[in-house]
Amino acid sequence: MDAIELLETDHQRVSGLFEQIQQSDNLDDKRALFRTIKHEIETHAQIEENIFYPFFAKREDFQEIVDDSFADHQEVREILSELEDVLADTHTAEDDSSQVDDLIDELVACVDDHVEEEEGEFFPRVREVLDEDELEHLGQELESAKGDYPQAA
Ligand SMILES: [Fe+2]
Ligand SMILES: [Fe+2]
């Protein structure tokens, strides 16, 4: 799988999980889905930040989009952490869970925007500057780095 296919597959998996958590009306299910989403996003962000973005950060024409991407990730992490706190404080069905839902919507919107920028601008430009062999090689690096982040039970 080339690097872009791998990253886009991650994006699709997260988007499917977002759909599930937004449709869920059960707090325990949301909590379980949140754990999976957090792990998926953190792993994906790590391999992009450690391998994919630095590969292009050296190129002047990619500097702005790489900087934007790092900033987007930071924003996503802040929402994840806020959502985690709110979930920890929301215990029973009687607790007001509207804050949970608002933060889920905020997270989805923030990630969607970022994914749109990657898939709509960043990745197409990557395809212009790397050939298929280079993309495959980079994909293998990403794949093996993913193995360093097993999901906790
Ligand atoms: Fe991504
Ligand atoms: Fe990203």
User: For residue 13, which ligand has an atom nearest its CA?
Assistant: 1
Backbone angles phi, psi at 82, to 5 degrees: -65, -45
Tell me the CA–centroid distance for residue 76 and ligand 2, in Å. Answer: 10
Q: Is 99 exposed, middle or buried (0-12, 13-18, 19+ CB in 10 A)?
A: middle
For position 152, what pLDDT does the model report? 64
Decide: 126 and 4 in contact? Cβ < 8 Å.
yes
pTM to 2 decimal places = 0.94
Q: What are the tens digits of pLDDT across the range 95-111?
A: 678 899 999 999 999 99
Q: What are the tens digits of pLDDT across the range 67-104?
A: 999 999 999 999 999 999 999 988 876 667 889 999 99
Tell me the CA–centroid distance for residue 29 and ligand 1, in Å. Answer: 25
Which domains can be identified in the chain, with CATH numbers? 3-146 (1.20.120.520)
89/2 Cα distance (integer angstroms): 41
Q: In this structure, is the dihedral angle defined by the CA atoms of residues 37, 115, 131 and 50, taken in order, positive or negative?
A: negative
User: For residue 69, which ligand has an atom nearest its CA?
Assistant: 2
| More confident call, 21 vs 94 | 21
Q: What are the tens digits of pLDDT across the range 34-55?
A: 999 999 999 999 999 999 999 9
